Chains A and B, each alone.
Chain A
């Protein structure tokens, strides 16, 4: 009798163990240096061009841009439960730094994959590897 109840109990425990890690893993601790290196990239383009590329990258990744302050260099986006904030800093007339911070369900949480995805899309926009279709309307 004990054996018949033990097997389903083990199955239940295994089910929880398998299902939960798919939703969320433990948070990793980052030093300030690690975080800066992960979030910030510098681009060989002026502020206006980089800002446009950043907005385009958010659209390309399916984010809804719900907040923007171009003069302050800030733009915020949302995609399902994920959020993102981009901070642009003018370094020189031909160089701009972009820092990408991520949120999950309203809380600041480092999402390395999302940061990389957006930096890569931004870079593709700036290098002309990703552009609007040539056709008109």
Chain B
């Protein structure tokens, strides 16, 4: 290989090791995207949040009810099942998993909730994805019909 091409190749390989930083987003923008308030009590919203995660296909990875935190994980849509299994399944490499973290805290007279979404190790900043989860949570907070 000509030396000049070799120099370019070495440069390309060396630079590829550095990840491009994600697009900048301020703490205030993050709060606006990830925060939601509910009229229901904190405990009811926290329980509904865990159920909504399961509804969305996540497996509960960790939960701390006292803190109001619940973390769910699922195989990323693009990752093949075999890859996920070989990587160790739950708790596998972030690059082939989706992560959702919900934090519910008392905010009198109701509760405040914060949602963090990641896909393949990168933050998911698509408002539609957040809305989809809030809709699932709303559905779980609806009063149950009395048995007929």
Contacts and interface: CB of A to CB of B under 8 A. Distances in A.
A17 B107 CA distance: 53
B11 A15 contact: yes
Nearest to B28: A130
B89 interface: no
A30 interface: no
A5 B71 contact: no
Contacts of A56: 103, 114
Nearest to B16: A19
Contacts of B123: 62, 79
B71 to A, nearest CB: 5
Interface stretch (A35-43, A66-74, A95-103, A108-116): A66-74
Given A8-B7, A62-B25, A80 B121 contact: yes
Interface of A: 4-5, 8-9, 11-12, 15-16, 19-20, 22-23, 51-52, 55-56, 59-71, 75, 78-81, 121, 124, 130-133, 136-137
